[in-house]
A and B are shown apart, each in its own frame.
Chain A
């Protein structure tokens, strides 16, 4: 087995965890919350489109943005490549590992067979680091798993070249250049400013706080869109999945962002950010209440107008809280 010495770490979220681990391996000391915060990972978007079978929301920026924004804010250059031909993608990954280089790659989460079956779903934008291989197996550093795990070659190839929405196409990346002197202070401020702008000032009616308000309003109409009570229950329970179960670090990334603000306060010696961290933690707790409420009424099929109005009001309260929070945060770093 060709194995690269790699410090495996568990992380809250796959993309920020994978980027953090591979940056650390290449000599850049940075934490996962710092990567997430500098990359302006915190977000909200509510989407209704004919591309989706049902309305959906997201609580972080677009997959791939963590790496792109880190590159922009810190000046790290990543080598990136995707592949039209599967064999080329396999050959390139193998050759990089044989050179002793760990490589991050995009996969369908479902095929990460070393994780319990009950947590695995088809999701094409999972990220892992590949840190070794032989003829039969790859060594996978997945931030959701306690240790580096073996995965057979056929399964990893399937995971890298599966089709469908946001198909991975064998996408891989690694840091090719890391500047010697990085201006973390400036990057932190820019990352916060961009996140606060996205949440409060983007003139798009379904993004940021406006998106949370739209979600609050529209969730009351979901019964009209659902096929039957089972379908509605499934979609309502997915609120919990999106907030808690999909590598969010809890409460739709709000806890991870709170940790970033705490670390930013120390790095910048800026105590007001520590206060903001505590406020974000409290906001996270309220999102978790929503998550629990949605899961509970979904599970119990308690989905009448009264309950959905209650859910809508809870979500609207989050819009109020995040409007105040991100407005204050924006002013602080302006």
Chain B
């Protein structure tokens, strides 16, 4: 996968999250790719409800599946991990 493709996926992931959570005044470029999304004290105040919302929207947008919450915990760690998961699923 070319670097530009993964960058494109990261961009789309950020847009999906911003839309899902109705985050006002946040531009995709301002989100750090490696910052923890759900750890306590995360930048967006995300919780487990937001996690399900993001899972469902990512599944639908990228045509991938995140079934298991243990897997989800790892996949949803950051924009980097989410994008890497999407790449793996698509190439499987």
Please measure, in the bound complex, the distance between the C-alpha atom of A12 and the C-alpha atom of B47, giving whole angstroms: 21
Q: Does A291 contact B (CB under 8 A)?
A: yes
Q: Is B29 an interface residue (CB 8 A)?
A: no
**Majority secondary structure of chain A interface residues (helix, strand, loop or mixed):** helix
Is the C-beta of B25 less than 8 angstroms from some C-beta in chain A? no
Distance from A253 Cβ to chain B, minimum over Cβ atoms (Å) = 11
Asked whether, in the complex, the Cβ of B68 is within 8 Å of the Cβ of A255, the reply is: yes
Query: Within the complex, what minimum Cβ distance (angstroms) separates A144 from chain B?
Result: 6
Whether the Cβ atoms of A296 and B49 lie closer than 8 Å is yes
What total of chain B residues lie within 8 Å of the partner, measured CB to CB? Answer: 17
Does B40 lie within 8 Å of A118, measured CB to CB?
Answer: yes
Beyond A116-B39, A118-B40, A146-B74, is A288–B68 a contact (Cβ under 8 Å)?
no
- With a CB–CB cut-off of 8 A, which chain A residues contact B73? 119
Residues of B within 8 A of A291 (CB): 52
Contact B49 A292 (CB under 8 A): yes
Cβ–Cβ contact B67 & A284, under 8 A: yes
Closest partner residue, chain B, to A10 (CB atom) = B70
**Contact-residue bracket for chain A:** 20 to 34
- The reply to whether A11 and B70 form a contact with Cβ atoms under 8 Å apart is yes
Docked Cα-Cα span, A143 to B71, in Å, equals: 11
The stretch that binds B, out of A180-188, A240-248, A325-333, is: A240-248
Residues of A within 8 A of B5 (CB): none
Please measure, in the bound complex, the distance between the C-alpha atom of A146 and the C-alpha atom of B74, giving whole angstroms: 9
Contacting pair A12 B68 (CB below 8 A)? yes
Q: Which of B52, B67, B74 contacts A255 (CB 8 A)?
A: B67
> When the two chains form the complex, which single residue of A118, A248, A299 contacts B69, counting CB atoms closer than 8 Å?
A248
A residues in contact with B72, CB < 8 Å: 250
Q: Are B67 and A292 in contact (CB under 8 A)?
A: no
A249 within 8 Å of B by Cβ? yes
A272-293 to B contact mask, C-beta < 8 Å, 1/0: 0000000000001000110110
| Residues A251 and B67 in contact in the complex (CB < 8 Å), given A116-B39, A146-B74, A292-B56 | yes
A250 to B70, CA, bound (A): 9
B70 touches A240 (CB 8 A): no
| Cβ-defined contact, B67 with A240, below 8 A | no
Residues in A with CB closer than 8 Å to B48 are 240-241, 244-245, 295
Mask: chain B, 57-87; 1 = CB below 8 Å from A; 0 = not: 0000000001111111110000000000000
Query: A250 to B67, Cβ gap below 8 A?
Result: yes
Closest to B56 in A: A292
Q: Given contacts A116-B39, A146-B74, are A244 and B52 in contact (CB under 8 A)? A: yes
In whole angstroms, what is the CA distance A19 to B64 when docked? 29
Q: In the docked arrangement, what's the CA distance between A154 and B19, Å?
A: 47
Task: Write the residues of chain B forming the contact surface with A, with a CB cutoff of 8 angstroms.
Answer: 39-40, 47-49, 52-53, 56, 66-74
Q: Can you list 16 contacts pairing A with B, beta carbon distance less than 8 Å?
A: A10-B71, A11-B70, A116-B39, A117-B40, A144-B70, A237-B49, A247-B70, A249-B68, A251-B67, A284-B67, A288-B52, A289-B56, A291-B52, A292-B52, A295-B48, A295-B52
Contact surface of A with B, Cβ cutoff 8 Å: 10-12, 116-119, 143-144, 146, 237, 240-241, 244-245, 247-251, 255-256, 284, 288-289, 291-292, 295-296, 299
Q: Which 3 pairs across A and B sit closest by C-beta, in order of nearness?
A: A255-B67, A295-B49, A250-B67
Q: Apart from A119-B73, A284-B67, A289-B56, what are 15 other A-B pairs with CB-CB below 8 Å?
A: A117-B40, A118-B39, A237-B49, A244-B48, A245-B69, A248-B69, A249-B67, A250-B68, A250-B69, A255-B67, A256-B68, A288-B52, A292-B49, A292-B53, A299-B49
